[in-house]
Structure 1
């Protein structure tokens, strides 16, 4: 018989779920665990049928949820499931101890992507973050095989896959042809590069970014908050209003690059403007809730501009700033152009960028939640008005 391996880790809470099958030896436990306290399960992954990766649509969605919704991640993510031989809980120490013996029976059963992302990201978090850990005890080999199969059953075919099959992304693909990242975009679910790695850019993110510039359906008072809030809603908006996006396509590459430049420039813009006001005596952007500060060789990849950043910037900060530049669009010949031949990146790097960074910073400091910042109509309105005033004064 294999040797028993034990892991002990703190738990914020621990519960045994009573079921009609306790007498048969099947037991189900749930623990809420701080991400930093997750045990090392690298040698206990054999029963998980999927090989988790750090890139691709699923990992990126988990990563974004982790950073943008620090108060809600626990409820938004399904968590991690472990098959174990034994479970015990020490009430005095608030610590869970699990025993694992057989790698064909015990270990990480479900939530492999979540586990890998959390372990990868946790050292860059400056605030507590939690995940749900489910512990299944007393299951035999055949039982576990059935549970793994059921827990890992794929979802129904996503809308983007069906839309791609129908050719609804063809004009978008044409608009982005020749861009360095063109072949990195997944226009359907589980699309891979020639070397077998998942394509790192989700077409839903591209659609969401472009939605922030839909002047036909959004105005100076009605803002495309769904660009940040719901990729599914943006995809449906795109499907119904594809003609509107044809006006945006001539600027698509500029817009995607602008999105990344906001990621890249926002930390310095924020530190500069706060320093001018005497509020900081150095780089404080990294202390905002939701911001990840990467150390050492690790960086955040900005694929639209081919650069890297030392900060993981919540998209709840980026989208209201991005949407503000809708104010400088003009329509000419059935297509959008940058009004008055303005360069949005230069505007970002100037006074407008500092004004937008200050606006985002004020809301972020007050809300202490990137998701609330990204969903706030007041934030979108303030950013848009700042860009509008800059445009009118130019």
Structure 2
């Protein structure tokens, strides 16, 4: 067993409850300890690996919790915090009774343990300890479950976090369903930080968006002749993510081309305004930063190895149909493993050579079918069929020219 981490609680009030006598076999050893701890003595260092969300202390509800903790005006004074607050629920490896009212909580860093519910409140109390004197008569209730089978911790956390529904990607992250993609992104400087893996996590990309982009390149999922549903990569990312959850292994087989796929997507958004300029009627196909800053492209690096930046980029509604057009350039073998049809430098060069033809399809769809509304064009199945056919025909021309 790896070395365990621990914190010490000073709990004047403590109780231990064994598992109910009719518990199923895998839960028969689960014990629950309940402690009441002074808010001033709540220890730092409890991990939050069992929690599906990052702490967010800015929401109105947590400002009310803080007011209650300090006994601010309108919060009924002090001494009642443990009655009005739901407490903090932990999953731990074991609880060890020390001398007097002290208890040591042990956590295994190799599995998902720590705060399963109440992480916002835990972080709020720690922050409050540092900024002012919390009244001595304020207590917080700590509930600790030990001997919980590791595989059910995500379901436990899901059940506890019911005051605000936990988003599916947060639970999927807790269940390690993104580990393969994290391993891919770790090989690119800044790749991990570029993606928001769960609620409260900062990142330019939502992990669902990244997975949807990889799925958009799958010619077995979205055939060239009839790509039903590919428009949801832009229009309904949540529905595409549900497909991922049903078959995560199918998408994992796109890991060998994942980083290059994200680079291609950013290259399209970065370079399209240049390819478009002066060739087609001006449409609302370009984003510009609202605060005067530059857009960053974390998967598209310049010659110095730093992310490219620009004051303009192609909108998602136009970029995703262009990106999905590269499905003909992806081979999927009989086992589902993906690879590029050509060397990736040649794939990018195809965009330089034929990107204007692909964008013409976007232009025509926006102007002729959707009265200038790029958003509706991005939701059009016919556009995705047209862009992929355009690139497929361009590739055939290339091959004939080489013969």
Residue 65 of structure 2 is aligned to residue 49 of structure 1: no
Contact 1:294 1:312 in 2 (8 A): no
Contact 1:216 1:244 in 2 (8 A): no
**Which residue is 2:192 aligned to?**
183
Instruction: Select the residue among 254, 259, 262 that pairs with 1:253.
Output: 259
**Which residue is 1:382 aligned to?**
386
CA distance in 2, matches of 1:183, 1:293: 25
Contact 2:182 2:192 in 1 (8 A): no
Q: 1:269 to 1:48 in 2, by over 3 A?
A: same
TM-score normalised by L of structure 2: 0.52
CA distance in 2, matches of 1:347, 1:312: 19
CA distance in 2, matches of 1:229, 1:293: 21
Counterpart mapping for 1:166-181 below 5 A: 166-181=175-190
Structure 1 unaligned runs (5+)? 1-46, 52-152, 192-197
Contact 2:185 2:192 in 1 (8 A): no
Residue 245 of structure 2 is aligned to residue 243 of structure 1: no
Instruction: Select the residue among 284, 296, 299 that pairs with 1:304.
Output: 299
**Which residue is 1:128 aligned to?**
none
Report the Cα offset of residue 272 of structure 1.
4.8
Q: 1:158 to 1:48 in 2, by over 3 A?
A: closer
Instruction: Select the residue among 212, 215, 219 that pairs with 2:216.
Output: 212
Residue 170 of structure 2 is aligned to residue 161 of structure 1: yes
Look up the SS of the partner of 1:183 in the other structure. coil
Q: 1:174 to 1:358 in 2, by over 3 A?
A: same
Q: Cα RMSD between the aligned structures? A: 2.7
The size of the alignment, in residue pairs, is 230
**Which residue is 1:201 aligned to?**
205
Higher relative contact order (CA 8 A, sep 6+): 1
**Which residue is 1:321 aligned to?**
322
**Which residue is 1:194 aligned to?**
none
Structure 2 unaligned runs (5+)? 1-57, 63-161, 301-306
Report the Cα offset of residue 314 of structure 1.
1.9
Q: Report the structure number with the largest CA radius of gyration.
A: 2
TM-score normalised by L of structure 1: 0.53
Q: 1:154 to 1:265 in 2, by over 3 A?
A: farther
